[in-house]
Amino acid sequence: MNAEPMEHSFDATENPADEAADEIREALIAYCRLQSEAVEQINATVRASGVSFTEAALQLGLVTPREAREADAWARDNIARRNSNVIEKAVRRQTGNAITIRHAVIGKPSLRLLPAYDLNNPHSEQIRALRTELLLLNDGTREARSLAILSPCSGEGRSQLAGELAIAFSQLGRRTLLVDADLRNPSQHFLFCSEVPWGLAQSLAFGEPAHLIGVEGLPFLTVLPAGPRVSNPLELISGGRFESLLKHWRRDYDFIIIDTPPVSQYADALTIAALASRTLLVGRTQSTPYKDVQAMLRRLGPTQTRILGAVVSSF
């Protein structure tokens, strides 16, 4: 697919001194699920009349006053959280706030990921209900909530659930990172229709920055694919670099969802569960062997991860 870089920058007609303008624009697009045609219509009104993106959207009836107020509140709160990072704040001062967010590749959710396309579908409702339950289980920490998705066997819907949960969290208007840490049989690049020559595996192997993927229609979601397969995945996951990356991600994102290999076949997921500290278990109706579930629970014991619950999938 076309790998044109995506850039989110301040709208030409917005006040460049107003740091919230671009945040509000992205929040409105996410909250109101504005399609590209609607965004272009708003941009045309901005160019023609010189009003802000929000004012143009209100004039066109594409957002409500309440949605505009909520987007404004979220944007300013997000800026306050981000500026608490001393290094980023200093960089912003040095560059006059002209910071842009770039993704080397833009992916697109596959049609299997219903929450990205059909919010009224019963399955999408179930995913949002699960999201709510997970939020209620928050332990009050101020750092990003990282969650490893584990299953005892392959083919149990683990990767799809990870992708759908990441979409659901990003639809709250919060920065969400989906990490494909299944270096054995990765699938998030299929689910988000993007092939990349450099992913998590290569970042761990060579110590280079991760190449992140933006997602069309979901401005608050970022995906880190596993990348081409490597010969030593467990060593890479256990080598300390993954833990360092996770600490970095916790500063930059509100939610981190981590896809993993099946526990019954590989030990990678146990290391990831220990580092993530929170785990959601997945099984499949009339398919997952009970003995494999019991074995997984025994192996998870020493990791001291907090098991938030279990999902029995039928998809």
If one counts the domains in the chain, the total is 2
Residues 290 and 141 occupy one common structural domain: yes
Which residue, 70, 102, 134, sits at the end of a domain?
Answer: 102
In this structure, of 135-139, 220-224, 246-250, 269-273, the range with the lowest mean pLDDT score is 135-139
Residues 189 and 280 occupy one common structural domain: yes
pLDDT of residue 77: 58
For residue 265, give both structure tokens. 């076949």
Which residue, 74, 102, 130, sits at the end of a domain?
Answer: 102
Are 261 and 185 in contact by the 8 Å Cβ rule? The answer is yes
Residues 128 and 87 occupy one common structural domain: no
Task: Report which of residues 97 and 196 the model is more confident about.
Answer: 196
Per residue in 39-78, pLDDT (tens digit) is: 889 999 999 998 988 899 999 998 888 778 766 766 665 5
Place of tokens 């969650």: 147
Which residue, 102, 136, 165, sits at the end of a domain?
Answer: 102
pLDDT of residue 242: 94
State the CB neighbour count (10 A cutoff) for residue 276.
26
Residues 117 and 252 occupy one common structural domain: yes
Q: How far apart are CA 181 and CA 268, in angstroms?
A: 9
pLDDT of residue 18: 54
- Rg (C-alpha) for the chain, rounded Å, is 20
Task: Report which of residues 211 and 5 the model is more confident about.
Answer: 211
Residues 91 and 137 occupy one common structural domain: no
Q: 87: pLDDT confidence band, cut at 50, 70 and 90?
A: very low
Per residue in 284-302, pLDDT (tens digit) is: 887 888 899 999 999 999 9
In a domain, 89, yes or no: yes
State the CB neighbour count (10 A cutoff) for residue 230.
17
Rounded mean pLDDT, 109-129:
92
Classified as helix, coil or strand, 86 is: helix
Q: Which domain holds residue 236?
A: 105-313
Q: What is the signed CA dihedral for 126, 170, 33, 38, rounded to 10 degrees?
A: -160
Q: 137: pLDDT confidence band, cut at 50, 70 and 90?
A: confident
Is residue 28 scored above 80 in pLDDT? no
pLDDT of residue 84: 45
Are 28 and 54 in contact by the 8 Å Cβ rule? The answer is yes
Are 237 and 204 in contact by the 8 Å Cβ rule? The answer is yes
Classified as helix, coil or strand, 289 is: coil
List helix spans (H) across the chain. Answer: 20-31, 36-49, 53-59, 65-82, 86-94, 122-136, 158-170, 188-191, 200-206, 233-238, 241-252, 268-276, 290-300
The model's pTM: 0.68
In a domain, 137, yes or no: yes
Q: How far apart are CA 282 and CA 151, in angstroms?
A: 5
- Mark residue 177 as left, alpha or beta (left: phi above 0; alpha: psi -120 to 50; beta: remaining): beta
Residues 211 and 98 occupy one common structural domain: no
Sign of CA dihedral 219, 269, 308, 313: positive
Q: How far apart are CA 8 and CA 165, in angstroms?
A: 24
